[in-house]
Chains A and B, each alone.
Chain A
Amino acid sequence: MKPDLSTRYLGFRLRNPFVVSASPLGRDLDRLLLLEAAGAAAVVLPSLFEEQIEHDSMLVHTTMEHGTESFPEALSYLPEMSSYNTGPERYLSLITRARESLRVPVIASLNGASPGGWTSYARRMQDAGASALELNVYFVAADMDETSEQVERRYLDIVAEVRRTITIPLAVKIGPFFSSTANMARRIVDAGADGLVVFNRFYQPDIDLENLVVVPDLKLSTAVELRLPLRWIAILHSRVKASLAATTGVHDHFGAIKLLLVGADVTMTASALLIHGPGWIESAIAGLGEWMVEHEYTSVEQLKGSMSWRGAPNPAAFERANYMETLASYEVPR
C-alpha cells in the first residue's frame, strides 16, 4: 500500500512535506507552476524586504530631486513617471496571480527588522490573497548598547504587531543565534506565531581580495547544514504549540526524512531546486515514499517526531553531550 505522504502545516492539509522555500525560484509564475506540477505541496514566495522598499523609494526620491530647482534652464532632469513601483505593488500582484493559478497554498514572505509602518504590508499581502504569511525577522545585533533582552523584545513586538494585523496563519522564520533558542521559540509562539521556520540563512559578508571591499554573498546550502535545524526541531517538537518547518540543507529525501523524524511538519528547499530544477521534488517525493515502504511506515504523520527529543532513544545527543562526543571522536594531531 502506498504510504500517506500528507502532512499538516499552519492548518493546511498538504499533499506531501516538500515546500519550496523563499528564494528567487518564486519570482515568476511560470516557474511556480512548474514547481507545483513537480509536486511541491506549498510555495513560499521570495521575501519582500523592508529595507528594499525603503531603499528603492528613497533612491527614486533622491535621484528625482537631485539637481532640481537649482538652475533656471533645467528645473528637473528626469521625467516624472506615472508609477515607480518602489512599493510592494509588484509583489502583491505576484501573490494574487500565484493564488489564481496555483492550487497549493501560496505563502507570502515579509522580511524586516523593526516594528513600524512596514508591517502594514502584512495586511496588504493578506488582502492580495496570501494563504499564509512567513515573517522573516533578520537582524544582526551589532549595537553595543542593545541588550539581548531588548533584541528579544524587538522580535516579540514585531510578531505581535503582525499578528494583530492579519488573520491568516503566521509562520515566523528565525535564526539560531539566541541565548535561549528554546525559550525564544516559545515566546514567539506565545506572541502569535502559528508556526516556526528554522532556520534563516543569512547573507554573510565576504571579502573581495583584489579590490579589498566587503561584498555580501550568499552561498547555496550544503547537506551538512541540515544538522542545525535537525537538532532544534528535535528539541522544539511537541514542546511549542506551533507547526515546525525545517529549512536549510535539505538536499535529498534522506535529509527530509531525518527532519520529519525529529518533528518537522514540512521541509523547505531552495538550494537543491536551484541546482537540480523542479524535477528534484518529484524524485524526493518518490524517495520518501520508497523509504517509508521499505521501513514500513504508513504515513508521514506516523513518522513525524518519532525521533524528536521526546522520542529518540538517546535524547541527550541533541544537547551538550553531542558536542563533547563529537570532539572526542577526533584524534588530536601529534
Chain B
Amino acid sequence: MQRPVVTVDGNEAAAYIAHRLSEVVAIYPITPASAMGELADAWTAAGKPNLWGDIPTVIEMQSEAGAAGTLHGALQSGALTTTFTASQGLLLMLPNMFKIAGELSPTVIHVAARTIATHALSIFGDHSDVMTARTTGFALLASASVQEAQDLAAVAHAATLETRIPFLHFFDGFRTSHEVGKIERLTDDDLRALIDAGAIAAHRSRALDPEQPVLRGSAQNPDVYFQAREACNRFYDAVPGIVTTVLQRLEALVGRRYGLFDYRGHPEAERVIVVMGSAVGAVEETVDALVARGEKVGVVIVRLYRPFAADAFLATLPTSARVVAVLDRTKEPGASGEPLLQDVATVLAGAAADGRAMPRIIGGRYGLSSKEFTPAMVKAVFDEAALPQPRPRFTVGILDDVTGLSLDVDPSFRAEPPGVVGALFYGLGSDGTVGANKNTVKIIGEHTPQFAQGYFVYDSKKSGSITVSHLRFSPVPIRSTYLVDSASFIGCHQFGLLATIDLLSRAADGATLLINTPYGAATWDRMPVEAQRQIIEKKMRVFGIDADAVAKEAGLGGRVNTVLQTGFFVLSNLLPPDEAVMAIKDSIRKTYGRRGEAVLDRNFRAVDGARAALFEIVVPEAATGLVHMRPPVIGAAPEFVRTVTGEIIAGRGDLLPVSAMPIDGTFPTGTSQWEKRSIADEIPVWDADICIDCGRCALVCPHAAIRIAYVDESALAGAPAGYPHRATVGKDFPGKRLVIQVAPDDCTGCSVCADICPARSKELVKHKALDMTPKDTVLERERERFDYFLTLPPIDRREVAIATLKGSQALQPLFEFSGACSGCGETPYLKLITQLFGDRLVVANATGCSSIYGGNLPTTPWSVDAQGRGPAWSNSLFEDNAEFGLGLRLGADARHTAAVRVLRGLRGILGDELVEGLIAADQTTEAGIFDQRTRVAAARERLEALGTAEAVEALPLLDGLIRKSVWIVGGDGWAYDIGFGGLDHVISAGRDVNILVLDTEVYSNTGGQASKATPRGAVAKFASAGKSSGKKDLGMIAMAYGNVYVAQIAMGANMTQTVKALAEAESYPGPSLVIAYSPCIAHGFDLAKMMGHQKDAAASGYWPLYRFDPRLAASEDKPFALDSRPPTMPFKEFAAAEARFSMLAGADPERSEELLKAGQEDIDERRRYYEQLAGLERGLPGDEVTV
C-alpha cells in the first residue's frame, strides 16, 4: 500500500499521531515541545477530527502542573487524553504522573527531551528531564529519528491502552524535534489496526461516573499501602510483551521493524555500545563503517527503556560482547553511574550470577544540552573500549582538563555513507534563509526519490541573529544525527558573515560557494583573506549573486531567501533547473499562497530574476585580499571576555575546556559592551542645533545605544574635531553642555528614537534632531565619537532629580546592548530601573524573554558603573520567580540584621558615631546612600586594619548595610499564569519587593502563545480563532490587598508617569507591582512606531494608566490616581493597527466584529469602574498581628 510521504519535523510527526488518537489535549508552551501544542491547537481550530471523527478539545493551562492535573482528570473521566512537554515542564508534571501511573490510567505524554536547568538553563536536548520521570511508574519509550517519532508515538498510544500503563514517549529536543525529514505517514487504517478498540472501551468503562460510583484516590495507612503498591506489578510485567506485539503489528502494516531493543553490528561483536535517542543514528553509521573495516563492534538500541525488559536486553546483546559501553545523555552527580548504565549493569550482573559471561561495563556521558555527538566521538568510545583497562566512567564530546574524564577524539574520522550530499547555508534570521531551506528539504523530499534532512542552528540573539542551515540529501535514509561537517555546497547569504564566521571550515574539497554579494566583479577583492585562502586550498568554485538587488527589484526588501534558494538549485543540479524553478514556485505557492497574489507575484519575480543574476567569480591562484576577519571582541576586553566569551562569540565554544568554565554558573556582568555586533543598516545621527534636550530618545532606546551626558564645557576640551554638543535647555542642568551620542556598533537600527524625537528643523520638516542615517556613511566618525563619549565624566547622582524624565536619562544605564528584538518593548523599562537604582539593584528574573536577552551566553547586558557597581542578577525558574525574589529580599534583610548585631558589638572599635550612623542611616535619597557607602568604606578600612576574628566576621556583612533594591522581573506568562500563585503570596507577605511585569500580553519567548494577559479579540497561538475572554486585571487583584503599591504604565503614553511610578514603587517600603505595557513582535505592528502606538493604547482606553499608593491611604487621601484621560479613540481604531487583531478581521470578520465590540465594552466598563475608584478614599488594612 502506498502511504503518503511527508517532510515534517519530529514535533509534527509525534503531534500528528497524538491529535489523531486523542479526545482531550491539555497544553502549555515550553521549548522545544511548544510546536506540538501549537499544531494540535491549530488542527482543532481548523476542525480537524481525530480518528473517530470527533474534534479533540485542546485547552491551554496556566502551567504544566495545570496541564498534568487536567490530563489526570480527563483520564479519570474516561477520555483519551494527551499532553506535550519538556524539561522543567515535565518536572512540574511529576506529582500527577505518579498518580496517573498509580491509578493505571492509560495516556501518553510526548516529550521533546530537554536539559533540566542546573548551573544554567538550557533549551537544548538531553535526557536529564525524562530521567527524572523514571520513578513515576510511566513506561519510557525512546524514538531516535523523525520517522520513529511518528511510529513510536502510535505504538505508545496503542500500548498504553492495552497495558494500562501510562507512557512517556520521548525524542531528543531539537535534534529530532526540530529536524526536518522525509517520512512515510501512517494512515488512518494503520492507526485503526494498531489501536485495540476493546481497550478503549475498557478505559471508558473505568471512568468516574455516578451511575457506577467508585472512590479513587484514597488515603492509606501503613497496614495496606505497601501491598496496594505491589498490586500493580503484573501490569508492568506485561508491558514488554504487549509493546512487542504492537511493534510486530506495526511491522506487519508498514514493514518497519522495531524491537524493545535492537542490535546492529558484527554478529560476534566484542565491543558494544548501548544507547538511546538520536545518538543512535551516529552510532549506527560508525558501527557500519567499523564493521566494514573488520572491527567486531555493535550497538544495542534501547527503545523501551522502562519497564526495562531484562530478558529482551540479554537476548539482544551478543554474548560475544567483551566490553559494553553504556552511553547516557544525562548527568547524575554523585551516582555510581548514570541511569541507563545502572540498568544495564544490574541486568548483566544478574545474568552473570546465572552463568552468563560478565562483560566489562563502562559508562559515559555525552551530548548534554545538544552537544554534538559525531561518529568520531563514537569511535573514541569504541577505541576506549578496546583498551586493556578502559576508563570505567568517561565523558565524550568535550575536553575535561579538570577531572580528566573526557576521551580523546580524532575529528578526522568520518562515517557518513557515500552518496550523501551535505549543504550549509549561513544567513540572518531576517533574510528568511531557514524558511527557504525548509522548503528545499520538502522539495527534494517530495519531488524526488531522494531522502532529505534539514537541521537548523540559531544563535541566542533575538535581533540580528545568525542562522546556519544544515541540509543533507541522500538516495538512502539519512541517519546522520549530527551537523554537516563536510559540505559540498556553502551558501553565504549575507556578505558580512564572511568577516565574522569561519564559514568555510566545513567546506569539502571542491565544494561550491554561493555568495550574496553587491560587489559584482570586485567581490573577490572584498572577501577576507582567510576565506580566500580556504577557497584556494580547497579548490572551491565560487559564484555570486546580488540577491538583495534581485529581491529589492521584485519588491521583497531584504528577503533574499527565494533568490538564493533558486541559486542553490541551479548550481547543485539536484533537479533539472527548469523543474527546480517550477518546484520552488510551487512551494512558494503552498507556503505563501494564502497571503495573496502580490506575495506570490513578487516571489516569483525574485525566482525568475535569480537565474539571470547568477555569475561565477574567478578564483586566482593566490589570496590577494587586504581585508581580514573581525575579532570576536574588541581588544580592551578583560581576560575572561577575551578567552572565554570571545571564543563563544566566534563559534568556538565547543572547543573550550572544562577548566575555562565557572564552577557554579557565576559569570561577570558588563560583557555585552565588548561584543560589537554592528547589525544596524541605519543609525541615528544627532543634530545638536535643533535638539530640544527632552531626553526622550535615550529613555525609549531599547538597546541603550543612545546616551546622554551633561558635562561642564571644560570637560569637552579634548573632544574630537566637530564633536557636537549644545547648551542645555531648561533648568535641570544649568551651565552644563548637552551631549547625545549613539553607540554605532551596538545600535540595532530600530529607529524608535528617531520616531519619538519631537525636534524638527524649521527649514526642512522631515529633518529631526535624530535622523536615521546609513551607517556606512558615518560609522568611523561615530565610533570615534562614542569612544570619546565613554571618557566623559559621569554626573554625580546626588545632583540629579532622578525621578524625572530628564534626570533619569542623565544617569548611566546599567542594562545595555542586549540581544533583544530590535525595537523591544520590554527593555526600555529594564534600562530605566538600572538608571534609577542600578548601583544597588538585585534582580530576580523569571524565565522568559528577559532572562534570555538578560542571561543567555555569550554576553549579558546587565552592566557595571565606573565604580564596578551594578545590578546583581539571577534567574531561578519560570514559575517561582516571585518567591525567589522574596527570598533575595529576606536574605538581604537577614544580612542587614546580622550586620547590625555585629556592629553593635564593635562600638568600641568603630566608635558610637560611625556605628549609629551605619545602623540608623537614612538611605531614601542618593545623598543618603552615598553617605552610607562612605561610612561602610570607613568601617571596612578600620576592620581590615584590625584583622581580629570579630572584624573578619563583620567584613562580609558590611555591604548588607547599603540599601538594596530588590526587583522581581518577568513577563505576563509568569505573572498572570504560571507564577501567579507565588506572586499573589509574595505581595501578601508585606515585604519590600518591587515586581515589574513586562506585559507583552503573550508568551513572547516561546513564540506568542496566549496568556491570561492576552486581550479579547487578539489572535495568538493557542487562541488562533481570537481570544474569546477578556484580559485578567492583575493590578486590581493586587490592589485588593490594600497595602500593595500598584501602577500600570506605558512609557510611550506617559513618560513622566512611567518614571514616577517606578520611583514611587521603589520608595514604597512594602510590596509594589508595576505592570508595564510592552509591545512585542507578536502584536504585529512596526515596532519603530512603538511609542506613538502606546500613546494610542492609552488614548483608546485599551491600556489605562494608574497608580495606587497605599501611603496616600495612610493619610486618608484617595490612593488611586487614574493617570490617563477619558478615551478619545475607539478601540477598533487602535486595534486596526495591530495584526493580532486585524488578522482576525480578515479571516473571520463576523467573529472579529463581535470580539472588538466586546473589547470596547470591556474598556468602557473598566473605565467606569476605575473612575469610581479614583474618587474613593480608602484606609490601609490592619497591620499584621505580631504579638
The answer to whether the Cβ of A75 comes within 8 Å of any Cβ in the partner chain is yes
- A53 CA to B458 CA, complexed, in Å: 34
Given A53-B597, A61-B592, A80-B42: A74 touches B1008 (CB 8 Å cut-off): yes
A64, B595: Cβ atoms closer than 8 Å: yes
Residue of B nearest to A71 (CB): B462
- A239 CA to B555 CA, complexed, in Å: 43
- A71 CA to B431 CA, complexed, in Å: 13
- A78 CA to B1080 CA, complexed, in Å: 11
How far apart are B974's CB and chain A's nearest CB, in angstroms? Answer: 15
**Cβ-defined partner of B1147 (8 Å) among A54, A62, A64, A83:** A83
The answer to whether the Cβ of B494 comes within 8 Å of any Cβ in the partner chain is no
Bitwise, A76-114 to B at CB < 8 A (1) or not (0) is 111111111111001000000000000000000000000
Which of B207-215, B598-606, B1098-1106, B1164-1172 contacts the other chain? Answer: B598-606
A78, B1084: Cβ atoms closer than 8 Å: yes
Residue of B nearest to A120 (CB): B597
**Cβ-defined partner of A77 (8 Å) among B428, B465, B1007:** B1007
CB-CB under 8 A from B63, the residues of chain A are none
Residue of A nearest to B1143 (CB): A81
The answer to whether the Cβ of A311 comes within 8 Å of any Cβ in the partner chain is no
- A13 CA to B783 CA, complexed, in Å: 75
- A53 CA to B598 CA, complexed, in Å: 7
Bitwise, B999-1010 to A at CB < 8 A (1) or not (0) is 000001111100
CB-CB under 8 A from A64, the residues of chain B are 595, 1139
A79, B1020: Cβ atoms closer than 8 Å: yes
CB-CB under 8 A from B1147, the residues of chain A are 81-85
B1008, A77: Cβ atoms closer than 8 Å: yes
Secondary structure at the B interface, as helix, strand, loop or mixed, is: mixed
CB contact list, B1129-1168 vs A, under 8 A: 1139-1140, 1143-1144, 1146-1147, 1149
- A53 CA to B1082 CA, complexed, in Å: 23
CB contact list, A173-197 vs B, under 8 A: none
A58, B123: Cβ atoms closer than 8 Å: no
The answer to whether the Cβ of B998 comes within 8 Å of any Cβ in the partner chain is no
Q: List 30 A-B contacts (CB under 8 A).
A: A57-B595, A57-B599, A58-B598, A58-B599, A60-B1143, A61-B592, A61-B595, A63-B1084, A68-B429, A70-B428, A70-B429, A70-B458, A70-B467, A73-B32, A73-B1005, A73-B1006, A75-B35, A75-B434, A76-B1007, A77-B1081, A78-B1082, A79-B38, A79-B1008, A80-B42, A81-B594, A83-B594, A84-B1143, A86-B595, A86-B598, A212-B760
B596, A66: Cβ atoms closer than 8 Å: no
The answer to whether the Cβ of B770 comes within 8 Å of any Cβ in the partner chain is no
The answer to whether the Cβ of A56 comes within 8 Å of any Cβ in the partner chain is yes
- A90 CA to B460 CA, complexed, in Å: 42
The answer to whether the Cβ of A30 comes within 8 Å of any Cβ in the partner chain is no
The answer to whether the Cβ of B649 comes within 8 Å of any Cβ in the partner chain is no
B123, A73: Cβ atoms closer than 8 Å: yes
- A56 CA to B435 CA, complexed, in Å: 22
How far apart are B429's CB and chain A's nearest CB, in angstroms? Answer: 2
Q: Which interface residue of A60, A66, A71 has the most chain B CB atoms within 10 A? A: A71
Residue of A nearest to B1082 (CB): A77
**Cβ-defined partner of B31 (8 Å) among A65, A73, A76:** A73
B1146, A85: Cβ atoms closer than 8 Å: yes
The answer to whether the Cβ of B852 comes within 8 Å of any Cβ in the partner chain is yes
**Cβ-defined partner of B465 (8 Å) among A58, A70, A117:** A70
Q: Which interface residue of B38, B598, B852, B1082 has the most chain A CB atoms within 10 A? A: B598
Residue of A nearest to B435 (CB): A69
- A78 CA to B1138 CA, complexed, in Å: 12
A70, B430: Cβ atoms closer than 8 Å: yes
CB contact list, B961-1011 vs A, under 8 A: 1004-1008
CB-CB under 8 A from B1149, the residues of chain A are 85, 90
**Cβ-defined partner of B595 (8 Å) among A72, A77, A79, A84:** A84
The answer to whether the Cβ of A279 comes within 8 Å of any Cβ in the partner chain is no
How far apart are A75's CB and chain B's nearest CB, in angstroms? Answer: 6
Q: How many residues of B contact A (CB 8 A)?
A: 61
B1024, A58: Cβ atoms closer than 8 Å: no
The answer to whether the Cβ of A24 comes within 8 Å of any Cβ in the partner chain is no
B46, A82: Cβ atoms closer than 8 Å: yes
The answer to whether the Cβ of A205 comes within 8 Å of any Cβ in the partner chain is no
3 tightest A-B CB contacts, nearest first: A70-B429, A57-B596, A74-B1007
CB-CB under 8 A from A80, the residues of chain B are 42, 594, 1024
How far apart are B942's CB and chain A's nearest CB, in angstroms? Answer: 51
CB-CB under 8 A from A63, the residues of chain B are 1084-1085, 1139
Residue of B nearest to A68 (CB): B435
The answer to whether the Cβ of A67 comes within 8 Å of any Cβ in the partner chain is yes
CB-CB under 8 A from B1004, the residues of chain A are 74, 77
CB-CB under 8 A from A81, the residues of chain B are 594, 1019, 1024, 1143-1144, 1146-1147
A73, B1007: Cβ atoms closer than 8 Å: yes
The answer to whether the Cβ of B1113 comes within 8 Å of any Cβ in the partner chain is no
The answer to whether the Cβ of B371 comes within 8 Å of any Cβ in the partner chain is no
CB-CB under 8 A from B38, the residues of chain A are 79
A61, B599: Cβ atoms closer than 8 Å: yes
Residue of B nearest to A83 (CB): B1147
Secondary structure at the A interface, as helix, strand, loop or mixed, is: loop
A79, B1146: Cβ atoms closer than 8 Å: no
How far apart are A295's CB and chain B's nearest CB, in angstroms? Answer: 49
How far apart are B621's CB and chain A's nearest CB, in angstroms? Answer: 39
Residue of B nearest to A69 (CB): B434
A60, B458: Cβ atoms closer than 8 Å: no
Bitwise, B453-485 to A at CB < 8 A (1) or not (0) is 000101011100101000000000000000000
The answer to whether the Cβ of B829 comes within 8 Å of any Cβ in the partner chain is no
Q: How many residues of A contact B (CB 8 A)?
A: 37
Bitwise, B807-832 to A at CB < 8 A (1) or not (0) is 00000000000000100000000000
Q: Which interface residue of A57, A58, A74, A117 has the most chain B CB atoms within 10 A? A: A74
CB-CB under 8 A from B1006, the residues of chain A are 73-74
CB-CB under 8 A from B434, the residues of chain A are 69, 75
CB-CB under 8 A from B178, the residues of chain A are 72
- A117 CA to B598 CA, complexed, in Å: 9
Q: Which interface residue of B46, B555, B557, B1084 has the most chain A CB atoms within 10 A? A: B1084
**Cβ-defined partner of A65 (8 Å) among B458, B559, B601:** B559
How far apart are A118's CB and chain B's nearest CB, in angstroms? Answer: 8
The answer to whether the Cβ of B432 comes within 8 Å of any Cβ in the partner chain is yes
A57, B1008: Cβ atoms closer than 8 Å: no
CB-CB under 8 A from B123, the residues of chain A are 72-73
CB-CB under 8 A from A86, the residues of chain B are 595-596, 598, 1146
A66, B1081: Cβ atoms closer than 8 Å: yes
How far apart are A138's CB and chain B's nearest CB, in angstroms? Answer: 18
**Cβ-defined partner of A69 (8 Å) among B429, B1140, B1146:** B429
B1007, A70: Cβ atoms closer than 8 Å: no
B601, A72: Cβ atoms closer than 8 Å: no
CB contact list, B255-304 vs A, under 8 A: none
- A3 CA to B597 CA, complexed, in Å: 50
CB-CB under 8 A from A60, the residues of chain B are 595-596, 599, 1139, 1143, 1146
CB-CB under 8 A from A59, the residues of chain B are 1139
B42, A78: Cβ atoms closer than 8 Å: no
Residue of B nearest to A74 (CB): B1007
The answer to whether the Cβ of B1021 comes within 8 Å of any Cβ in the partner chain is yes
- A76 CA to B1021 CA, complexed, in Å: 10
CB-CB under 8 A from A83, the residues of chain B are 594, 1146-1147
A212, B765: Cβ atoms closer than 8 Å: yes
Given A58-B598, A69-B456, A82-B1147: A74 touches B174 (CB 8 Å cut-off): no
- A112 CA to B1144 CA, complexed, in Å: 27
CB-CB under 8 A from B594, the residues of chain A are 80-84
How far apart are B1014's CB and chain A's nearest CB, in angstroms? Answer: 12
B597, A117: Cβ atoms closer than 8 Å: yes
CB contact list, B39-83 vs A, under 8 A: 42, 46
B1084, A54: Cβ atoms closer than 8 Å: no
Residue of A nearest to B370 (CB): A72
- A172 CA to B1146 CA, complexed, in Å: 30
- A64 CA to B1021 CA, complexed, in Å: 13
How far apart are B837's CB and chain A's nearest CB, in angstroms? Answer: 29
